[in-house]
């Protein structure tokens, strides 16, 4: 398939071409960059929602319920489940197939799982590109759900307009400590499984934490109580998400974030490509391997060698250009 | 202080110069790279031990007890406590001061806490350089303790010869899921608080997991039961750590890992420095800000702009060189 046909298919919202482009992004196919460059001006319409929180807090069920709610409201939905600890990518994680069964025949819903395999440029960058592809395909809402703990949850703020942090009543202190880093990125808190004892206490805890936040802007993250299993609280959650977007637009935050995001993305892209060019250059350099051996033996030091190799790379480039 | 004096002081094992160099590394002082380059050939002697595990599993107490054990065995010790979620760096985290009180007057022990502040090049790279500085100062054993969950724990394998993963009896399923990623990097397991009910069950669980491991080499990670509060099991742990180093040397793994580490470090250094050079160049470019605005407005796309700016950077470099 030609790139122009692929792009046309994605822009027309065709599932097959979209899935194909996403696989190309995941496999670092050079043609993916060309396609992404062509679709870029058709992006920026979707509301991108990040959903994160500790394992067992019901993220997947919330995403499924929100999807139903959005479909009722006439909106199309894209879902990306990111699990950096999983080696599996593709549209076919068993759990996703089961939980999304009710939406599997709905053309207004597109689901994709992403694992860690094959993302040489990092899962965050791949996720950002996949979000862009789904955005260009015309989905109104894109939900990015991260599984597991750590870095990936924090990176979600770079991509999402609205970050939802989920929690459950009665989670212990151990979990609490782990979550500290992700509480700060929340635009909306969800206390799920509100039927469990301790839901009110959890709300009090989150409010106490918010009262202490010195850096809070005009938006105080609301706390929504849900029972995702029964669907209770889901329409309220969808309302709060919409309110947050309204706030982002009216306060000028959306525009400011857009500029910041463009800057970061440009820098990351340049860093990645420049490094790729350098490494390609080094692969053909006979002294590279012996330089590494010398460093390991302490006959040379990595700081000096790095400087020398960069200078050689730039000089080589100069020669090539001058020919 | 001249760099040569600083380096001399570090190599002589003087605490003041070592602390100074570490602060320079943390502040990204350009002179730090020069000092690191000079001390590099005096490194590679310390046994570097990484200690990680969920909050509450007693990592700090284990580190304190191991320090006492190593001192008894006549070895000098460096300790780095890495907490990416803490904005505080320096030698003076209150908790560390308290727990290390018994070693505070001992010149054979050097303790340092590292937070996330001021590490433009990433906390992993800063930690690696700090380990190197302590190594050059002549410490026999360097323990790197990571606090919190996520990326930093996985990066510890790049630095450490021996990785210890701590756990406690009866930690729940939520924690279990989070830990999945760090179980795989263990060279030695410690089940701490062995007096708590469920310690034997925890050993059975870890063994069951190890039985399933397809990628295990010649070294099957031993499981050491400890009660760090009383010191039980600590001499056995120190023995297992020594056994692991013996295995690394005899199997050739130490040499192989050293080469791999040298390669990774060289690549990271080059990537970082090349990017710094590019960003410095762009800061002086008048079109850079307008290019970012165009991307945010979808008037241009980041993929094309990245390519153009890299080409311009390299061309600029060519001109400068030709002058």
Across the interface, whether the CB atoms of B302 and A54 are under 8 A apart is answered: no
Q: Does A290 touch chain B (CB under 8 A)?
A: no
- Report the range of poorest mean pLDDT among A82-86, A176-180, A206-210: A176-180
Q: For chain A, what percent of residues have pLDDT higher than 70?
A: 82
Across the interface, whether the CB atoms of A266 and B318 are under 8 A apart is answered: no
Neighbours of B236 (CB within 10 A): 15
* pLDDT at residue B18 greater than cutoff 80: yes
Which of A31, A24, A25 is closest to A3 using CA atoms? Answer: A31
| More reliable by pLDDT, B16 or B322 | B16
- The whole-number pLDDT of residue A82 equals 82
Beta-bridge partners for B81: B113, B145
Q: Is the backbone of residue A111 left (phi > 0), alpha (psi -120 to 50) or beta?
A: beta
- Tokens describing residue B43: 């490194």
Q: Does A252 touch chain B (CB under 8 A)?
A: no
Q: Does A264 touch chain B (CB under 8 A)?
A: no
Q: Are B164 and B244 in contact (CB under 8 A)?
A: no
What does the pLDDT look like over A56-70, one tens digit per residue?
A: 788 889 999 999 999
Under 8 Å CB-to-CB from B269, ≥6 apart: which residues?
Answer: A302, A303, A306
* pLDDT at residue A238 greater than cutoff 50: yes
* pLDDT at residue B172 greater than cutoff 70: no
Distance from CA of B20 to the nearest CA of A (A): 19
Q: Binning pLDDT at 50, 70 and 90, where does residue A113 land?
A: confident
- Chain A hits for B290, CB-CB cut-off 8 Å, are none
Across the interface, whether the CB atoms of A303 and B55 are under 8 A apart is answered: no
Considering only CB atoms, A292 lies closest to which of B178, B263, B269, namely: B263
What does the pLDDT look like over A197-223, one tens digit per residue?
A: 989 988 998 898 888 877 777 899 999
- The whole-number pLDDT of residue A255 equals 94
Across the interface, whether the CB atoms of B270 and A310 are under 8 A apart is answered: yes
- The whole-number pLDDT of residue B214 equals 74
What average pLDDT does range A236-244 have in this prediction? 98
Domains in chain A, ordered, with CATH?
Answer: 43-251 (3.40.50.300), 263-322 (no CATH)
Q: Does A309 touch chain B (CB under 8 A)?
A: yes
Across the A/B interface, how many CB contacts are shorter than 8 Å? 176
Q: Binning pLDDT at 50, 70 and 90, where does residue A174 land?
A: very low
Considering only CB atoms, B258 lies closest to which of A44, A174, A296, namely: A296
Q: State whether residue B277 is helix, strand or coil.
A: helix
Nearest CA in chain A to B302: A266
Distance CA A222, CA B313 (A): 46
Which of A177, A185, A149 is closest to B147 using CA atoms? Answer: A177
- The whole-number pLDDT of residue B185 equals 83
Q: Does A305 touch chain B (CB under 8 A)?
A: yes
Residue B161 DSSP one-character state: S
ipTM of the complex: 0.82
Q: Hey, of B24, B303, B317, which one would you mutate to test binding to chain A, going by the most A CBs within 10 A of its CB?
A: B303
Q: For chain B, what percent of residues have pLDDT higher than 70?
A: 82
Across the interface, whether the CB atoms of B278 and A274 are under 8 A apart is answered: yes
Which of B178, B146, B181, B180 is closest to B160 using CA atoms? Answer: B146
Pairing assessment for the beta strands B141-146 and B162-167 based on DSSP bridges: unpaired
- The whole-number pLDDT of residue A170 equals 77
Mean pLDDT score of chain B: 84
What average pLDDT does range A292-301 have in this prediction? 95
- The whole-number pLDDT of residue A118 equals 46
What average pLDDT does range B219-234 have in this prediction? 96
């Amino acid at each position: 398939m030609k790139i122009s046909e692929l792009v046309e298919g994605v822009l027309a919202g065709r599932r097959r071409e979209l899935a194909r482009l996403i696989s190309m992004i995941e496999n670092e196919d050079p043609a993916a960059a060309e396609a992404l460059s062509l679709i870029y001006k058709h992006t920026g319409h979707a509301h991108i929602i990040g959903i994160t929180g500790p394992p067992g807090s019901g993220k997947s069920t919330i995403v499924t319920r929100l999807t139903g709610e959005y479909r009722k409201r006439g909106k199309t939905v894209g879902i990306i489940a990111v699990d950096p600890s999983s080696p599996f990518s593709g549209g076919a994680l068993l759990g996703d197939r089961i939980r999304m069964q009710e939406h599997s025949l709905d053309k207004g819903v597109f689901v994709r799982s992403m694992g860690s395999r094959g993302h040489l440029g990092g899962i965050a960058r791949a996720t950002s590109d996949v979000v862009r592809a789904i955005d260009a395909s015309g989905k109104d809402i894109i939900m990015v759900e991260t599984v597991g703990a750590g870095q990936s949850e924090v990176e979600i703020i770079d991509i999402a307009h609205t970050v939802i942090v989920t929690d459950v009543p009665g989670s212990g202190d151990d979990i609490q400590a782990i979550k500290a880093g992700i509480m700060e990125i929340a635009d909306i808190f969800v206390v799920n499984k509100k039927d469990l004892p301790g839901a009110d206490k959890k709300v009090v805890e989150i409010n106490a934490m918010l009262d202490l936040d010195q850096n809070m802007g005009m938006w105080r993250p609301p706390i929504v109580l849900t029972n995702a299993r029964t669907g209770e609280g889901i329409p309220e959650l969808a309302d709060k998400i919409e309110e947050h977007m309204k706030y982002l637009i009216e306060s000028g935050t959306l525009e400011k974030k857009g500029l910041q995001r463009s800057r970061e993305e440009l820098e990351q892209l340049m860093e990645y490509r420049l490094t790729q060019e350098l490494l390609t250059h080094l692969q053909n350099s006979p002294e590279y391997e012996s330089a590494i051996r010398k460093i390991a033996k302490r006959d040379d030091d990595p700081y000096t060698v790095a400087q020398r190799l960069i200078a050689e790379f730039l000089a080589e480039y100069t020669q090539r250009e001058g020919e």
